[in-house]
Amino acid sequence: MSRTAVYQALVLRNRASGESNSEITMLTSEEGIIRATVFGGAKSKLRAHSAPYNSGQVWIYRDPAKDYAKISDFDVQSWRPGLRELYERSMTAGAVAETILSSHGGGGEWAQAQKLALETLDTLESANEELCQKLLIHFLWRWSGFLGIQPRLENCAACDRDASAEPLWFSVREGAAFCGDCAHEQQGLLRLDSGCRRWLALSGQLEPSALHRYSMDNKSFAEAKSLVTSVVTGALGKRLAVWDW
């Protein structure tokens, strides 16, 4: 029986392990999150190949008796050097990676999870500072859809009234948005005006590469960011510090 398996992988994290090894955490299409060791010092070819946000085919050798996995080869298809050229890109990529890790890869539909991540990272590679911010909101919004926790933003969650022309109030505790009447007496509410909701509804249908065409004012931006981080916090059970930079 072969102990080497091949995966379509995206590197999410690369940490030094011991004196000259690295511990790599990847999102694979086949088995979700996988951890494996790369042996070799700074000059190792494999270590360079397994840098964060690289993606491609990876060969992993396992020794079940020793509970041990190592990367034996990595055919990198995308290097994404642009992610390291701008602080905001690198921070956004880190936020995407940590969100996926904290969600354990999204729980089953790994090829789809990887597709969402790759599309965002590919657009991020040439994004300016403003687009980086939008790409994070957009990723978190699509990720909430992927996790099945995206709240409806057209109608009140309690009375079902069409609220497209009025503000809705998102309840962090309920994970749903309510009209002014139904939101009454609820606590921890986020106000969502129509500008923010229109942008989310529209951008949810778009791939990241089309986002630059749709502007968003600062107020809508702030509302959208509060909403998407609150929604994903509900799923993860914690708020990630990497969302705010």
Structure tokens at 91: 């921070």
Q: Phi and psi at residue 132, in whole multiples of 5°? A: -55, -45
Find where tokens 């511990």 sit: 23
Task: Supply the angle between the helices 194-203 and 218-236 in degrees, to the nearest 10.
Answer: 60
Q: Which amino acid is at 220?
A: S
Closest contact distance (angstroms) between CB of 152 and Zn ion is 12
- Residues with Cβ within 8 Å of 137's Cβ and at least 6 positions away in sequence, in order, are 221, 224, 225, 228
Closest contact distance (angstroms) between CB of 238 and Zn ion is 30
Q: How far apart are CA 152 and CA 158, in angstroms?
A: 11
Closest contact distance (angstroms) between CB of 154 and Zn ion is 12
* Contact between 37 and 23 (Cβ < 8 Å): yes
Of 156 and 196, the one with the shorter C-beta distance to Zn ion is: 156
Q: How far apart are CA 235 and CA 103, in angstroms?
A: 8
Of 51 and 183, the one with the shorter C-beta distance to Zn ion is: 183
Of 96 and 156, the one with the shorter C-beta distance to Zn ion is: 156
Structure tokens at 115: 């597709």
Find where tokens 């270590």 sit: 47
Of 21 and 186, the one with the shorter C-beta distance to Zn ion is: 186
* Contact between 58 and 74 (Cβ < 8 Å): yes
Closest contact distance (angstroms) between CB of 153 and Zn ion is 13
Of 6 and 159, the one with the shorter C-beta distance to Zn ion is: 159
Of 117 and 163, the one with the shorter C-beta distance to Zn ion is: 163
Contact residues toward Zn ion (CB under 5 A) are 156, 158-159, 179, 182
Closest contact distance (angstroms) between CB of 116 and Zn ion is 32
Closest contact distance (angstroms) between CB of 163 and Zn ion is 7
